[in-house]
Every structure is written in structure tokens, then in C-alpha cells.
Structure 1
Amino acid sequence: MPSSVEGKRVEFHVQARLCCSKWGWCGNTPDHCGTDCQSQYGGGGPTPTPPNPGGKGVASIITENVFNQMLKHRNEGSCPGKNFYNYNAFIAAAQAFNGFGTTGDATAQKRELAAFFAQTFHETTGGWATAPDGPYAWGYCFLRENGGGDYCKSQQAPCASGKQYYGRGPIQLTWNYNYIAAVKAIGFDGLNDHDIVARDPTISFKTAIWFWMTAQSPKPSCHDVITGGWSPSGSDSAAGRTAGYEMTTNIINGGQECGNGFNAKVEDRNGFYKRYCDILGVSYGSNLDCYNQKSYGLALSTTEEEA
């Protein structure tokens, strides 16, 4: 869950550059970006053929059965997020972001989806050590941050009177300026009606995927890290930062969890990741923990402010 340790604001940039075919499907493949596109960035390519409505892109890896297997207990009566996080909303959100879960070979695609779910399930888990089916089957149990809070820094961005910008949704989006940044990429009233992130499941998933796909200088995006699109700079290498699942933890909450040896929260994130890699039938890759990896210090994550 998000902390309230102060840091500094950084700018966010996202470009979901998609082509939309005449059948209403959007993406970045030749089928989407051919000559019959209704809306596209860049042209050329062969005349598209109608895409199969089912089993394409992310949906070919995360089927509804797999989604339900991963999230066996999300709809338990004890879960505040019961019946909110649904499969169709996830797929609709995934299709809105170019390259999410579709970059690289099958191994890269599966690892990215396993990593995304691992991190967001950790943020919203309702599990415990002896929970039925284990602690990693209780993701997406929570919808809003426990305890709430204003999370308003009005000198950096406006705040609406009486509104609270605490964590909501799969990534637990927090702070007024982060809601405003998400608005620019997704399109909703993040200043006055930010609670829509906890009412509209598609928008909720979009905020999480937006964060995942968005680089936050000096941090890379989780997407680039996990799919091989990022290489450590000299300063990254000196800080022990390497490309692997552990870098997504550093991006999300490195100031609280990385660089100080063993951390139980890091282990929990790793446990989720290994479980979902196993479900998807893909190896874990190297570099899973950030115990000896320096955080980015006063760099702001989309969900919280780091020490």
C-alpha cells in the first residue's frame, strides 16, 4: 500500500499510439495499421484481414479461465473489491495500450503479464500466510487504500475542495498530480471525480497499465524493463540496477524496499511473480530481488512518494 513519505514531482509522458481497423480493433500490427485503417499513426502495410474476436493479443495468453485461476478469491465476501475487477474490463484496458503484453516473443509477453499481475496483486492483496490456496491467490481484494488521506500537494497541482487523492485501483494510484497526469493519458475528471478509478473497472485498469507503460525520468518504464527495451546506464550499473523483474519493484517502491538487504515486501512481490510465471508456463528470468540495488532516491513513483 502507498506510503506518504515526501519526494519531488517528476513529469510523466505516455503515448498510446494505436491504429484502429475498420472492424473496431486497435493495436500496432499490420492488421490494425494497414490501408483500411479508420484511425492510425503511420501508414503502409498490407490490407488488413479481420482479426479473430477471441484469442488475440493479451487475450490469447490471459484467457478468462487463466484470469480466474490467478484470482481465485478476489470476489470473496470479505474483499472490499468484490465483483469489481473483471476480465472484460482488463482486456478492454489492455487493448488501449500499444505493446502491453504483446512486445517481443512469447516468453517476453508472458513474463510481462506475470510481472504486471504480480505487482498489482501485491498492492491489492487480501491474502495471508495460511490463506486458502496460499497467500498469492488473493490479489485484487482491495479497491481503495486503507485509511485514506488527502494526498494533496497544491503547490504542484490543484486540488478540489474536500477531495482525497488516496490510493485506488490495481496500482493504488495516489496523489493529486498523479491523478491529473493519468487524466492526460486516459481521459477522465481526475481532479473532481477521481473516485471513478474505484467505480469504473476499465478506467481503473487503464490507470494501472498507464503507470506500467510510462517512463518517469530518471526511471524507465516497467514495460521497457521487463521486455528488454531498457539497458542500464553507467550510473544504473554503479547502483546495481539490472534489467529484470527486480527493477519493476525499484520503479514502484524502491525508496521503501530496495537497497537495504532482505525485505519481506520484496519477497511477497517475488512470490506473486513466481506463481504467475508458473501458471503461464514461463521461466522467471534472472535478477528477481533488489536487496542490493539502490533506489532512485527522490524520484516519484506513480503510486507514492519515496524517501
Structure 2
Amino acid sequence: MRSRRAPLLIAALVAALLTPGAALAAPAPAAQAAVASCSAAAWSSGAVYVGGNQVTHAGAAWRAKWWTQGETPGTTGEWGVWERTGTCDGGEPPVDPPGTEDFPVSQAQFNQFFPNRNSFYTYSGLVAALSAYPGFANSGSETIQKREAAAFLANVSHETGGLVHIVEQNTANYPHYCDLSQPYGCPAGRDQYYGKGPIQLSWNFNYKAAGDALGIDLLNNPRLVQTDSAIAWKTGLWYWNTQNGPGTMTPHAAIVNSRGFGETIRSINGSIECNGGNPAQVQSRVDTYLRFTSALGVDPGGNLHC
């Protein structure tokens, strides 16, 4: 099995205040004007922030330059509202949680893959979900295992805009995901089965099937997928490991049986993207997969498109 690095101590952040005289002699660069506050509360999409407010998000400290609400730190650009003031792990790779020795992606790599991710999508939540499907990214050779981890994360990145979105953004679609022909109906409400989580689980029958498989009552409590990180990751792994979708095999089988990344796309979105349906979207997924496999130091294999 792969060897993992020993846990590293998190370096302490020390803020030094310049005296007025020193400031005149050697002006501090603008990038150092704000001091990182890694003890600040995590950024919240619903909170209102004003100039000077500090938050933490995606392993970094941020300071608001002016009033803002709902603007994710790291997505507003150099001249945007959020100023990055420091890295909250002190520049050292974070310590991986216990039990991840055989998972091909370290916490440091995960953070690099998703620098602007919503704080909801935690690495610890993903790790907690792995026990539900122990064969995931743990079957076949080390090359296959790394390919599967990269393929899964590339697809969920595409589905969520880089792990930024927890729920489907088009609210007009929300009432459409209730199939009343099912005998159990939509007990949580006809508009509650919209896309949620890393693979955007949708439709009442998928919530029922995923919940039954995972031992969680998602039919009556679909909002758990947007409020519990581990449950959200488990629903993504449920689909990946057990559902053919519009394809002919599960995404897990596509990678383990060397059918290629393209078949994982087919299993998720079928003709909507494949067979010329939307080649730009396919290419976007492929580009992310190639970036992740490169970071993991593994050949991506063939049949990348669908």
C-alpha cells in the first residue's frame, strides 16, 4: 500500500506591528498591510460583511474591503471585495485524518484541487463517507485507484463549479423532480428533491434509493444532503458506485475495468453531453480530469471523451 508522510506540525502565525518610524524608513508592501486572522469564523454565504471583517475559507484567511454578502472568498478576483491575508495552515500540508492511508488524494492535494470550495465540502466529510463503499479508489492497481479518485473528483468539480455550489442553482427546476407515479410520492414536498451534493442528487426516486442503500431516510429528509457533509459525499459515492444512469455501467466499473473516463461522463449525463450533445462540457470535464491525474502523477488512460 502507499506510504503516507508523517503528520506535520502546523506552523504558528506571528503578526508583527511596525512602528511609525520603521514604516517611514521601509514602507511595508501592500500585500502585507492586512494581518491574517486564522481564528476568524468561517465564511457564510448568508452573512453580511463590512469592510475590515475577517473570515476563514478554504484553508485561508480573508478580509472584506467593503460591504458584501454571498460573494465567495477567492472568486472575486484581485480587485474584488475579498483580500487574501494568509494561509491558515502556515504553508505546511495539513495533517491527514486517520484512516486515509490508502486514499490516493491527500488533504493538501484536495485543498489544491479546490481552492475556492465551499466550506461545506470538507475533506473530513469525504473521508467519513469512504466507509460506505470501501472498493471506491481502492480496487485494482495503484494506477487504477488514482484514476478513479481523479475521475470522481473531476466530475463532482464539474457538477458543482469546483465544489462551490451545494444545491442546484436554477430554482425554477425545483418542482420538476417529483415523480408522482412512485407509490411513496414526495412526502417532503414536491419541490424538495432538486439537485444537492457533489453529484447533484435529484428526483424523489433517487433520494429513496440512495437513502435505502445508505440506511438514511432521505425520502423524508432530503435536506440532509445539503446540511451534512458526510451524507452529501455518501450520496455522490452511492451514485458513482451503484448507478449506471444513462450509461451502460457504473462510473466505478468504467474506471476499474479500464473503459475510460469518457464512460463516467456517459453514466452521469448521457446524451445530454455525449455523442455530440455538448462537446464543450465534455471537454471541461476532461480538462479537469487531466489536471487532477497530472497532480497525482498517474497516466489518465484512454477513451477520455464520450
Q: TM-score range by the shorter chain?
A: 0.5 to 0.7
Q: Rg bigger for which structure?
A: 2
CA distance in 2, matches of 1:162, 1:221: 30
Q: Which secondary structure state, in structure 1, belongs to the residue aligned with residue 252 of structure 2?
A: helix
Question: Which residue of 1 is the match for residue 44 of structure 2?
Answer: none
Higher-strand-fraction structure? 2
1:153 to 179, 202, 207: 179
Q: Deviations over 1:218-262 (max 9, x none)?
A: 721111110117xxxxxxxxxxxxx11100011100120111276
Question: What's the CA shift for 1:98?
Answer: 2.4
Question: Which residue of 2 is the match for residue 67 of structure 1?
Answer: 110
Gaps of 5+ in 1: 1-51, 75-81, 126-138, 230-242, 291-307
Q: Which secondary structure state, in structure 1, belongs to the residue aligned with residue 262 of structure 2?
A: helix
- 1:1-307 → structure 2 map (5 Å cutoff): 53-58=98-103, 61-74=104-117, 82-125=118-161, 139-148=162-171, 149-150=174-175, 151-157=177-183, 158-160=185-187, 162-163=189-190, 164-216=192-244, 219-228=248-257, 243-260=259-276, 263-290=279-306
CA distance in 1, matches of 2:208, 2:222: 9
Corresponding letter in the other structure for 1:56: E
CA contact (8 A) 2:100 2:127 kept: no
Moved over 3 A (4+): 52-55, 215-218
Q: Deviations over 1:117-139 (max 9, x none)?
A: 000100001xxxxxxxxxxxxx1
CA RMSD, 1 decimal = 1.8
TM-score under structure 1 length normalisation:
0.63
Question: What's the CA shift for 1:53?
Answer: 3.6
TM-score under structure 2 length normalisation:
0.63
CA contact (8 A) 2:226 2:232 kept: yes
Distance 1:107 1:162, change over 3 A: same
Gaps of 5+ in 2: 1-96
Greater relative contact order structure (CA < 8 Å, 6+ sep):
1
CA distance in 2, matches of 1:221, 1:100: 12
